[in-house]
Structure 1
Amino acid sequence: MKFELYVENSFEEHSPSQAVNITDQTWENWFRQWLEILHPDLPPAPSYEVGLRLTDDKQIQALNAQYRQQDRPTDVLAFAALEGDLPQSEEMLASLPLYLGDIIVSIDTGKRQAQQQGHSLSTELAWLTAHGLLHLLGWDHPDEDSLLQMLKQQVILLKAVDISIDTEWQ
């Protein structure tokens, strides 16, 4: 499966958030493995494309206010490209990467949550990014049962990239 990932670090240069130690290659490997697992949820395409933006609380708060009318920071936002109709041309689908959407993660919130959960920032960022990817593919959690299913799927995705996470709800 072909895959393209665009990673953007948009936090301030002198921010303590710079401590993220996940290379672009690691992100690409994680997404590739996750998309292999999630292949049944993917529309057919020759390749896939995802944008990942690592940012700070200030920037994610502005996006959260603009797009969700919630003027506060959040941990992850996902902007799915597949919510509308797919292009009709089979020729187009056969030749272009299918853009799944963008995932925006706040490193500042991720740091706080990692400390609260007692695991590393890298683990928290992987957890949040996997959650965002599931949203790009149409997963949602409007109720407790669907949230539990989504969280279980996140655990599966993290295990696939050798990240274990303690969960009280399992």
Structure 2
Amino acid sequence: MTAPAAGSAPEIDLAFSLEPGVGDGADAGSALVDPAQAETLWSAHLSAWLAQLVPELPAHLRAAGYSLGMQLCDDAAIATLNQTWRHRSGPTDVLAFAAQEGAPPAPEGNGEASLELGDIVISLDTARRQAHDAGHGLEEELLFLASHGLLHLLGWDHPDGASLAAMLERQAALLLASAS
């Protein structure tokens, strides 16, 4: 499989799920939480972000298509995942479970329809609080968290302040480009 040309959007196979009852009521105005629209909108954002990122990815992460999961849940669900997988108590805003982490680089042209990246899990409860505290809308916060999760799926990490600053700068560029 060959990677898409620079700037062209890769195909996205997204498994989107919204935990029952989580997106009710207060989120009614958010298309990113509306079950009728969310999967299509998330796919478009992820595809646009990947189109920007593909040229800078290592060869084994370049593909014409990507498969990933995204789940919007509550604080209780993400706290359980956080404890199970990171051994940290309490909820967090976003978790990323990278399928390619530690995997040997696959040769290009391996015939796969899409490259499995992993899963992004976002707590809507925490996203709502953070959006309120930052003085912006839920959609802006969700896009910020999803872009952060995507970068983690692609191997970005922030073990120190400099790495975090670089990652946040890259997120800002993704969000700015997708807003235009």
Q: What interval of TM-score do these two structures reach, taking the shorter chain for normalisation?
A: 0.7 to 0.9
Whole-angstrom distance in 2 between the partners of 1:150 and 1:74: 18
Q: Is the 8 A contact 2:22 2:74 kept in 1?
A: no
Displacement of 1:120: 0.2
Q: Is the 8 A contact 1:17 1:108 kept in 2?
A: no
Displacement of 1:132: 0.4
1:35 and 2:50 matched: yes
Q: Is the 8 A contact 1:79 1:136 kept in 2?
A: yes
Displacement of 1:155: 0.6
1:130 and 2:147 matched: yes
SS at match of 1:96: coil
1:77 and 2:95 matched: yes
- Percent identity between the aligned chains? 41
1:157 and 2:174 matched: yes
In structure 2, what is the equivalent of residue 6 of structure 1?
15
Give the residue type in structure 1 aligned to 2:85: Y
Alignment of 1:2-151 (within 5 A): 2-12=11-21, 15-16=24-25, 18-19=27-28, 20-22=30-32, 23-39=38-54, 40-41=56-57, 43-86=61-104, 93-151=110-168
| Aligned residue pair count | 162
In structure 2, what is the equivalent of residue 166 of structure 1?
none
Q: How large is the Cα RMSD of the aligned pairs? A: 2.0
Whole-angstrom distance in 1 between the partners of 2:26 and 2:116: 28
Displacement of 1:88: 5.1
Displacement of 1:26: 1.2
Give the residue type in structure 2 aligned to 1:41: L
Q: Is the 8 A contact 1:78 1:101 kept in 2?
A: yes
Give the residue type in structure 2 aligned to 1:99: E
Displacement of 1:71: 1.8
Which sections of structure 2, spanning at least 5 residues, go unmatched?
1-9, 33-37
SS at match of 1:38: helix
Whole-angstrom distance in 1 between the partners of 2:96 and 2:41: 20
Which sections of structure 1, spanning at least 5 residues, go unmatched?
164-170
Displacement of 1:58: 0.5
Residues 112/106 of structure 1: CA separation in 2 closer, same or farther (3 Å cut): same
